[in-house]
Amino acid sequence: MKLNLLILSVIMTCQTNAEAAEDRLITNGNFAKKSLKPWKIFATEKLIKPTFSIANGEVTITSAKASPKQSNEQFTQQLEKLKSNTKYTFSFQAKAENVLKPLVVTLSRSKDWTKGHYGLFRKITPTNEWKDYKMTFTTIEIEEGNLPQLKFLFGEIQGQLSLRKIALIEVNKPIEIKFK
């Protein structure tokens, strides 16, 4: 019986450590603080100013007008703790109203973004219902001084886009076991 309790304790500690590790790669991916920080929303065109609301652990971004380019409206977070040549799994839930154009998810350079992405670039088309999205990728060499930014590019989407449960974890990361 004591051995079973010890094993259960070790398993629970491992799960807790793994969950804590997830939280360090994406900050505020569940919007529990009812704040965007450190997320940022911006548009490159002055006429298009997306608005947002946060409720029930989700962010809803509203764009009154579609833009000619996906990258003209972005929802971003800079990620300082990612490592080069490392495998990650990125997951989130999304839904949108009447979406005909794709949402682009990318791990972009914070500077010199025209050089390409750091290993993640996917196009998805959200539906009117919540849907789980999960993608595994391997980062390429991350340039010093050019940190990765996780970006949702939604410039071609008009209407509401909702996101929740945004998480990023390192695949096959050794689990640290701490005994008290």
Q: What are the tens digits of pLDDT across the range 40-55?
A: 998 887 767 899 999 9
* Least confident residue range of 35-39, 44-48, 151-155, 156-160: 44-48
Is the predicted pLDDT of residue 11 greater than 70, yes or no?
Answer: no
Q: Where does the pLDDT of residue 70 fall: very low under 50, low under 70, confident under 90, or very high at 90 and above? A: confident
* Least confident residue range of 10-24, 52-66, 111-125, 133-147: 10-24
Residue 174 has a pLDDT of 67
Contact status, residue 147 vs residue 112, Cβ threshold 8 Å: no
Q: Considering only CA atoms, which of 162, 69, 67, 153 is closest in space to residue 108?
A: 153
Q: Which domains does the chain have, with CATH numbers?
A: 2-170 (2.60.120.260)
**Residue 149 to residue 154: CA distance in whole angstroms:** 15
Residue 134 has a pLDDT of 97
Q: Considering only CA atoms, which of 158, 152, 161, 159 is closest in space to residue 66?
A: 158
**Residue 49 to residue 42: CA distance in whole angstroms:** 7
Q: What are the tens digits of pLDDT across the range 122-139?
A: 999 999 999 999 999 999
Q: Where does the pLDDT of residue 71 fall: very low under 50, low under 70, confident under 90, or very high at 90 and above? A: confident
Give the residue, 22 or 98, on which the prediction is more confident.
98
Residue 18 has a pLDDT of 45
Tell me the average pLDDT across 132-152.
93
**pTM: predicted TM-score of the whole model, two decimal places:** 0.81
Residue 6 has a pLDDT of 41
Is the predicted pLDDT of residue 10 greater than 50, yes or no?
Answer: no
Contact status, residue 135 vs residue 120, Cβ threshold 8 Å: yes
